[in-house]
Structure 1
Amino acid sequence: MKLQFWSVGKAHEPHVKEAVEMFTKRISHYYPVEWNIIPVPKNTAMLSETDLKKKEGEAILNFLQKDDYLILLDERGKLIKSEELAKFIEMRANESVKKMVFLIGGAFGVSDEVMKRANYKWSLSPLVFPHQLVRLILAEQVYRACTIIKNEKYHHT
């Protein structure tokens, strides 16, 4: 199974880039993994919130393949513990999911079409975090889940 982290917005900012890359490299020992930064559409200042989400949604849906398993990070998604995330990832691998995509939407969230397409909606926290920080938390939590699956020392309960 391949893991992909998608984020709408700008490239990793320097203050998180090193840590995101470190956890991404660690994940690569367990699963092939890559980042896809989806650029914000041009002329965003001219677009309404709804139109912006629609344009971003079209780009996201164009990148997705029919069989991709889409996990949408959304503040209204399900809160799960690290151990549950590990079980979730392991179950998808056992189900022969070819590609699992973790999506961080744009500043205003995602379009209804992307919301409907999501196979699972996951909330990292009831708190709202900056997108750059969400990238780091996502990479670290997926790495933590990988170590839990392999019963390695990184995670302590």
Structure 2
Amino acid sequence: MRIDIIAPGRVKERYLRDAIDEYAKRLSRYCKLEIIEVADEKTPDHASEGVERQIKRKEGERIARHLRQDATIVALAIDGKQLSSEELATKIDRLGLSGVSHIQFVIGGSIGLDDAILSRADLRLSFSRMTFPHQLMRVILLEQIYRAYKINAGEPYHK
């Protein structure tokens, strides 16, 4: 299985980069992982709705260049479907069994994803109704993908 994580911006904090690297290393046993970073837009304080839409559109266009027609696209969205770790594991397993060999997870920037990206998604996934920093979300997502592979392999993983 090939898994892409597509997200705007670079992770600047060393502790987050270390965690991302650790989960990427762990996942290398189970899948081919690629993290694709696209340029992000600076969001001014107190930006109007119009400015925010424009920022989402620009970031969305950059993300769209990397979306593949043959991939299952999972967009992280606060209004998406919430799954347990076991349900995510089952989803990944069933996609693989049905012949899907490429999953692309898309994380939005600081103000979320453009509607054009959300409408292309095969699944909108929510980790919570709470808001998380988009850079931290990469670590959380990678941990859950790793947990899913451990569950599917019947291997122990701390709770």
TM-score, normalization by structure 2: 0.91
Greater mean alpha carbon deviation, residues 124-133 or residues 74-83: 124-133
Superposition deviation, residue 97 in structure 1:
1.3
CA deviations on 1:59-103 (whole Å, 9 max, x unpaired) are 111111211211001111111100000000001111111310111
Matched, 1:137 2:134: no
How far did residue 6 of structure 1 move? 1.2
> What percent identity do the matched residue pairs reach?
36
Distance 1:151 1:61 in 2: 35
| Matched-pair contact (CA < 8 Å) for 2:110–2:133 | no
CA shift digits 1:93-141 (9 cap, x unpaired): 1111131011111111111111100010011111111112111111111
Unaligned runs of 5+ in 1: none
Report the counterpart of residue 95 of structure 1 in structure 2.
Answer: 98
Are the counterparts in 1 of residues 74 and 103 from structure 2 also a CA contact under 8 Å? Answer: yes
Q: Does 1:9 align with 2:9?
A: yes
List aligned pairs for 1:61-100, cutoff 5 A: 61-100=64-103
Displacement of 1:155 in angstroms is 4.7
Q: Deviations over 1:26-77 (max 9, x none)?
A: 1110111111111114x76598111111111111111112112110011111
Letter in 2 for 1:144: R
**Could you tell me which residue of structure 2 aligns to residue 125 of structure 1?**
128
For 1:114, the equivalent position in structure 2 comes to 117
4+ residue segments displaced more than 6 Å: none
Matched, 1:28 2:28: yes
SS in 2 for 1:152: coil
CA separation of 1:12/1:145 partners in 2, compared to 1, >3 Å: closer, same or farther? Answer: farther
2:43 and 2:139 map into 1 onto residues whose CA distance is 25
**TM-score of the aligned structures, taking structure 1 as reference length:** 0.92
Indicate conservation of the 8 Å contact 1:147/1:155, yes or no.
Answer: no
Q: How many aligned positions are there?
A: 155
Distance in 2 of aligned mates of 1:145 and 1:25: 15
CA distance in 2, matches of 1:131, 1:8: 9
Q: Secondary structure at the match of 1:48?
A: helix
